[in-house]
Amino acid sequence: MKSLIVYDSVHGNTEKIARAIGEAITGEAQVLHVEKVNPSEITTYNLLIIGSPTHGGRPTPAMREFLSKAPALNGATVAAFDTRIPMKWVRIFGYAAGRIANILKRKGGKLIVPPEAFFVMGTEGPLKEGEIEHAASWAKEIEKKVPM
């Protein structure tokens, strides 16, 4: 299986989650910063996972730009995640993962699991305890569902 994990990260927390997902997935898994990926090439993978920090309830500007340039996904298997802060006041803005998932679905991607959240303890982190293990188990759950 060939997987691509695309992430954005300002303070490194989302990158850590992306790398933990990449390590947990069997087969060839590439983990790349959003600015290193050519959007037109993302349909050559069996599995595409996209993750971003939540900024003002949305993915980062770089991730939004990447998603806007993504080609038609024609039933490609996709999943989405974000990092976010576990605080009541930020809930009113919404979160990045659901928005990423909606864009991927609109482009014709087949969302294989619900959008997933990983928590950071503040804007710069660190990740909440257990989130690296959570990322690995989420990756395993995805892997089981990928059509081969």
Give the binding site for ligand FMN (CB under 6 A).
Answer: 9-14, 53-57, 83-85, 90, 93, 120, 123, 125
Nearer to ligand FMN, 85 or 111 (CB): 85
Is residue 48 exposed (0-12), middle (13-18) or buried (19+ Cβ within 10 Å)?
Answer: buried
Nearer to ligand FMN, 3 or 14 (CB): 14
DSSP string computed for 24-81: HSSSEEEEEEGGG--GGGGGGSSEEEEEEE-BTTB--HHHHHHHHH----TT-EEEEE
Q: How far is the CB of 62 from ligand FMN (least distance, A)?
A: 11
What residue type is assigned to position 67 of the chain?
L
Q: How far is the CB of 129 from ligand FMN (least distance, A)?
A: 15
Q: How far is the CB of 46 from ligand FMN (least distance, A)?
A: 26
Nearer to ligand FMN, 75 or 86 (CB): 86
Cα angle at 25 between 139 and 31, to 5 degrees?
Answer: 95
Nearer to ligand FMN, 82 or 143 (CB): 82
Tokens found for residue 109: 């991607």
Q: How far is the CB of 113 from ligand FMN (least distance, A)?
A: 20
Nearer to ligand FMN, 108 or 125 (CB): 125
Cα angle at 142 between 105 and 42, to 5 degrees?
Answer: 50
Q: How far is the CB of 145 from ligand FMN (least distance, A)?
A: 26
